[in-house]
């Protein structure tokens, strides 16, 4: 089984719908992240959490919210999806060894029509 699991892997939705992407990890990591990938733009950080009670905005948090339900679970929500949120979304986790090395899920491809 994958260490970092994202669900759903693919989702097509319509403008204005609420969408939740879920992430869980079995690595026992305290730190979890949500990144967005668009062609030619690399990965951009949406939100990150260094422990259950810690939530921080990243570079592109507008239009998104997150919930850290437990050490192992970190979900990303789009309250009212818009077409320019069509992208590949990655969840990742890291330990507290201060290297910052990330372990990624396989991604959730979201299409907003």
Partner 1 sequence: SQQGEEDPQALSIQEGENATMNCSYKTSINNLQWYRQNSGRGLVHLILIRSNEREKHSGRLRVTLDTSKKSSSLLITASRAADTASYFCATLFSGNTPLVFGKGTRLSVIA
Binding site for partner 1 (CB under 8 A): 4, 33, 35, 40-45, 48, 50, 58-59, 88, 90, 92, 98-107, 109
The CB-of-86 to partner 1 minimum distance in angstroms stands at 14
Q: What angle do CA 36, 41, 45 make, to 5 degrees?
A: 35
Cβ-based nearer residue to partner 1, 17 or 51: 51
Cβ-based nearer residue to partner 1, 17 or 101: 101
Report the distance separating Cα 5 and Cα 54, nearest Å: 21
- Per the DSSP assignment, residues forming a β-bridge with 87 are 110
The CB-of-66 to partner 1 minimum distance in angstroms stands at 13
The secondary structure of the chain in percent helix, strand, coil, rounded to multiples of 5, reads: 5, 55, 40
The CB-of-68 to partner 1 minimum distance in angstroms stands at 15
């Amino acid at each position: 089984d994958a260490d970092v699991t994202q669900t759903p892997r693919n989702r097509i939705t319509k403008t204005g719908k609420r969408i939740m992407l879920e992430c869980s990890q079995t690595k026992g990591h305290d730190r979890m992240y949500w990144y967005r990938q668009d062609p030619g733009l690399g990965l951009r950080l949406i939100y990150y959490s260094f422990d259950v009670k810690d939530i921080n905005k990243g570079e592109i948090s507008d239009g998104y919210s997150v919930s850290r339900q437990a050490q192992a679970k970190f979900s990303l929500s789009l309250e009212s999806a818009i077409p320019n949120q069509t992208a590949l979304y990655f969840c990742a986790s890291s330990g507290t060894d201060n290297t910052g090395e990330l372990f990624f899920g396989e991604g959730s491809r979201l299409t907003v029509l």
